[in-house]
């Protein structure tokens, strides 16, 4: 069996974790002892750095694990291009395609596909979209362009609007959720965020675009979501906090243990019925970003994907 090199870059919300605990969260099927053995025998750190299972990780820390190339889960293996002028490249990411490599995905990622499709260029994403989220993904056409775009995101110069389908009936047509978010340490799902007064400031404005009922009679709404900050899972966590769980959400829906069964490929028919949709109903709809060279705003819109449109059209007005 061939061997692959899987690069990990520690996200901000894992800063301060032990390295073995961090990797156990990323590679959930392995035991703590197996993870520690991987670190000792199969980990390549950056030059001049030594990493042990007990090492505390920092945001931005990067390292490589050498692993056997297990069959990767099926994902979409193509994407459309919404904009490409050489410096600014914006893809239409399909739901189900991871942006970056993980323990489970290596070749079946956007970064792998874009490098295969444009081998003469260095196209890299300037932000993240969750694997199940569809829509606009902004990239730089070269490293200096990617760096400029990342600065624009960090400085709040990018305007993003998402479409979401949520269960429930909001009391207002336009409302703000201003609630700090922190990683949920006590949860069985270690990537889950929750509202915490000690968390990072987080705010999302929601607009109700339409209201309907699902086939089983539950109220459902179509929302335009305007995140004012960029925390992990922000829109999903804020909808959960507002009592409006997103359709198809395996973490922030009615039962967070569905996500654990999903990762183990052990979801039940009852789980699927509760979710109503195979993926969480979130779509990166509109994006206005300063061009990395001219600094002029570029506004783009992604059409509603077929699976979300079909679900919505199956609901009763």
**Residues involved in catalysis:** 130
Structure tokens at 242: 């507002």
Place of tokens 């570029």: 298
**Running DSSP on this structure, what letter comes out for residue 200?**
B
In angstroms, the CA 219 to CA 115 distance is 43
With 0-12 / 13-18 / 19 or more C-beta atoms within 10 angstroms meaning exposed / middle / buried, residue 139 is buried
Query: What is the pairing mode between strands 88-93 and 80-84?
Result: antiparallel
Rg, the chain, Cα only: 20
Query: Quick count: other Cβ atoms within 10 Å of Cβ 233?
Result: 22
CA separation, residue 233 to residues 3, 146, 253 (Å): 32, 23, 13
43, 95 in Cβ contact below 8 A? no
Q: H-helix or E-strand containing 301?
A: strand 297-301
Query: What is the pairing mode between strands 282-290 and 134-140?
Result: parallel
């Amino acid at each position: 069996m061939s061997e692959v090199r899987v690069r990990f870059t520690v996200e901000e919300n894992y800063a301060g974790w032990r390295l073995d605990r961090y990797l156990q969260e990323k590679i959930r099927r392995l035991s703590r002892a197996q993870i520690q053995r991987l670190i000792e025998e199969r980990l390549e750190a950056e030059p001049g750095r030594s990493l042990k299972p007990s090492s505390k990780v920092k945001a931005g820390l990067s390292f490589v694990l050498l692993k056997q190339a297990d069959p990767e889960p099926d994902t979409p293996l193509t994407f459309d291009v919404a904009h490409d002028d050489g410096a600014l490249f914006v893809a239409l990411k399909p739901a189900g395609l991871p942006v970056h490599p993980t323990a489970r995905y290596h070749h079946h990622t956007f970064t792998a596909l874009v490098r295969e499709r444009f081998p003469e260029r260095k196209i890299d994403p300037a932000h993240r979209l969750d694997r199940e989220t569809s829509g606009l993904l902004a990239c730089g056409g070269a490293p200096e362009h990617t760096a400029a775009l990342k600065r624009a995101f960090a400085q709040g110069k990018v305007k993003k609007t998402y479409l979401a389908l949520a269960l429930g009936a909001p009391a207002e047509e336009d409302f703000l959720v201003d609630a700090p978010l922190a990683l949920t340490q006590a949860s069985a799902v270690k990537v889950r965020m929750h509202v915490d007064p000690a968390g990072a400031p987080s705010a999302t404005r929601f607009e109700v675009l339409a209201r309907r009922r699902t086939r089983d009679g539950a109220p459902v709404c179509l929302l335009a979501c305007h995140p004012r900050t960029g925390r992990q899972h922000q829109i999903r966590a804020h909808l959960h906090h507002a009592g409006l769980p997103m359709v198809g959400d395996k973490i922030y829906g009615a039962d967070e243990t569905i996500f654990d069964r999903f990762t183990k490929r052990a979801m039940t028919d009852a789980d699927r019925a509760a979710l109503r949709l195979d993926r969480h109903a979130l779509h990166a709809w509109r994006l206005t970003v300063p061009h990395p060279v001219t600094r002029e705003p570029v506004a783009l819109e992604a059409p509603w994907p077929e699976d979300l449109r079909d679900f919505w059209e199956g609901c009763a007005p």
